[in-house]
């Protein structure tokens, strides 16, 4: 089974989708740690409810943030790092250390409405301001370009008349993010398991 780390900064709804999939047996892996860069976020409560170990590594004013994070991930023998609403940009050095082991979920169809500063409600507001009729979510590998890594999966969601950033965010989460993120994690776990078996 793959050891999965989920990195969070907020409410943790995508974390919950992963926890549910693991508990349902559809992901052949286990979440060994949930790491937040902020104290008191609801994602940590979600993890605690399911007896998943949590760690807070504050980023603000912490020059050794990435060193502490790297050490923690290595101590937990992490095979896959999932950025689920993790609002920190990771350095090229960190990404290289965990090359092809970090994935991110983004609430738009990349390459639209992505890159530095595009997160949360800002993404959905930009989509509505632009007048797009279809938006969605993307799961991609993380490289040293923000939202620039290889796309693994995308799912489209219709923009409806009268949508607000909040209603659109909710629909994109329910119809796209919570669907494709657990599926991608499950596929990666199965692929890695097959490689180990064949190798």
Q: Domain span at residue 56?
A: 2-198
Q: Which pLDDT score is estimated for 199?
A: 67
Phi-psi region of 47 (alpha: psi -120 to 50; beta: other; left: phi over 0): alpha
Q: How do residues 167-199 score in pLDDT, each as one tens digit?
A: 999 999 999 999 999 999 999 999 877 777 776
Q: How do residues 25-68 score in pLDDT, each as one tens digit?
A: 999 999 999 999 999 999 999 999 999 999 999 999 999 999 99
**Catalytic pick among 72, 106, 124, 140:** 106
- What's the CATH number where 16 sits? 3.40.50.170
Q: Which pLDDT score is estimated for 197?
A: 73
Token pair belonging to 3 = 């050891």
Q: Which pLDDT score is estimated for 170?
A: 97
In SS3 terms, 99-168 reads as CCCEEEEECCCCCCCCCCCCCCHHHHHHHHHHCCCEEEEEEEECCCCCCCCCEEEEEEEECCCCCCHHHH
Name residues whose C-beta falls within 8 Å of residue 82's C-beta, 6 or more positions apart in sequence: 4, 5, 6, 7, 18, 103, 104, 105, 181, 185
Residue 124 annotated in active site = no
pTM above 0.85, yes or no: yes
CB 187 within 8 A of CB 178: no
| Partners of residue 37 on adjacent β-strands | none
Q: How many domains does the chain have?
A: 1
């Amino acid at each position: 089974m793959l050891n999965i780390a989920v990195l969070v900064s907020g409410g943790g709804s995508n974390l919950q989708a992963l926890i549910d999939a693991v508990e349902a047996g559809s992901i052949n892996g286990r979440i060994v740690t949930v790491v937040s860069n902020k104290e008191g976020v609801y994602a940590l409560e979600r993890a605690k409810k399911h007896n998943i170990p949590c760690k807070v590594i504050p980023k603000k004013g912490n020059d050794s943030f990435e060193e502490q994070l790297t050490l923690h991930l290595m101590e937990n023998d992490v095979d896959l790092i999932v950025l689920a609403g993790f609002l920190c940009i990771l350095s090229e050095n960190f990404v290289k250390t965990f090359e092809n082991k970090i994935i991110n979920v983004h609430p738009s169809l990349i390459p639209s409405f992505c890159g530095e500063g595009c997160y949360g409600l800002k993404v959905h507001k930009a989509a509505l301001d632009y007048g797009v009729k279809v938006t969605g979510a993307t799961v991609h590998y993380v490289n040293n370009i923000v939202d620039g890594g290889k796309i693994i999966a995308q799912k489209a969601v219709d923009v409806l008349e009268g949508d607000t950033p909040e209603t659109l965010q909710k629909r994109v989460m329910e119809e796209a993010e919570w669907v494709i993120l657990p599926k991608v994690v499950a596929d990666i776990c199965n692929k890695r398991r097959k490689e180990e078996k064949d190798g």
